[in-house]
Amino acid sequence: MPSPVKRSTIEGASEISLSANDDPLPVPVVSQESGVLTLHFGSDYIQSQMVVDEPDFLALAYTRTMMAFEMFMPMPREAALIGLGGGSIAKWCYLHHPDTKLTVVEINPHVIAVRDAFQIPQDDQRFRILCEDGAKFVGSTATRFDVLLVDCFTEKYPPRELCSQGFYDNCNKALAEVGLMVVNLCVKNHRRILSRIRKSFGGQILLSTDNDGNTVVFACKGQSLWPKNEDASSFRMKLRRFERKYGLGRALAPRC
């Protein structure tokens, strides 16, 4: 894990920072140490990490859990991701789900501006990045997604508008008749948020918490995508099989 006192900012990040002095949106800091590229907002909270020699590798444990959506929805036609970060999830979906049309929504143009540093693919017929408000996008989109992934944070917390009852209600509406929402939570007390998700999805949720403090919530619309007796321990066994399938090995340990 990169040390907070030995980071060296890559070329280009400082130029972006200088052009955004009066912008209320935070400018990301991109640093590299020991072959690991890190994106953060000037605090000890890691937004994203990439192993430079393996740019498509899922370095953080919670991203692996989120990508395990394929165990429930193996071949989504349409997927949306709210929050780009360093693009780990976007790159994984692009590589391993070539038949899926993926829309990424990121509100912060400064995050999108460092996409090349993290080797995020360019937009094409099946992949696009929109610089928009994720909450507004979910509330207004006419597309019905098979999978909706939510992984969005400010310097320390998920934005309030992406944790509201209205937001999760809109996520449900934005899904196809049978669909799956996957949300990453990294907050100490998420009982209120979980209550809202349960309400929006009729209680059809599955939780997975890792050692780094991230809780990934799977919420399905329509028919249940997992057995009624599914619990966290049985899901973890499936998650290990998912990791072995792709040879993911040991995850990095972020400070979060």
CA–CA distances in Å: residue 245 to residues 19, 151, 237, 242: 44, 24, 13, 5
In this predicted structure, the answer to whether residue 6 has a pLDDT above a threshold of 60 is no
What's the CATH number where 228 sits?
A: 3.40.50.150
Sign of CA dihedral 47, 49, 55, 61: negative
Q: pTM above 0.85?
A: yes
Q: Are 147 and 233 members of one domain?
A: yes
45 is in which domain, residue-wise? Answer: 8-51
Q: Are 14 and 123 members of one domain?
A: no
Q: Are 150 and 217 members of one domain?
A: yes
Type of residue found at 135: A
- pLDDT tens across 117-170, in order? 999 999 999 999 999 999 999 999 999 999 999 998 766 667 889 999 999 999
Q: Are 41 and 88 members of one domain?
A: no
Mean pLDDT (whole number) for 80-97: 96
CA 117 to chain centre: 18
Q: What pLDDT is stored for residue 155 in this prediction?
A: 61
User: Tokens 């944070």 identify what position?
Assistant: 153
Closest CA to 159 of 141, 138, 142: 138
Two structure tokens written together for 247: 């040879």
Two structure tokens written together for 128: 């696009």
- Phi/psi for 56 (5° steps) reads -95, 0
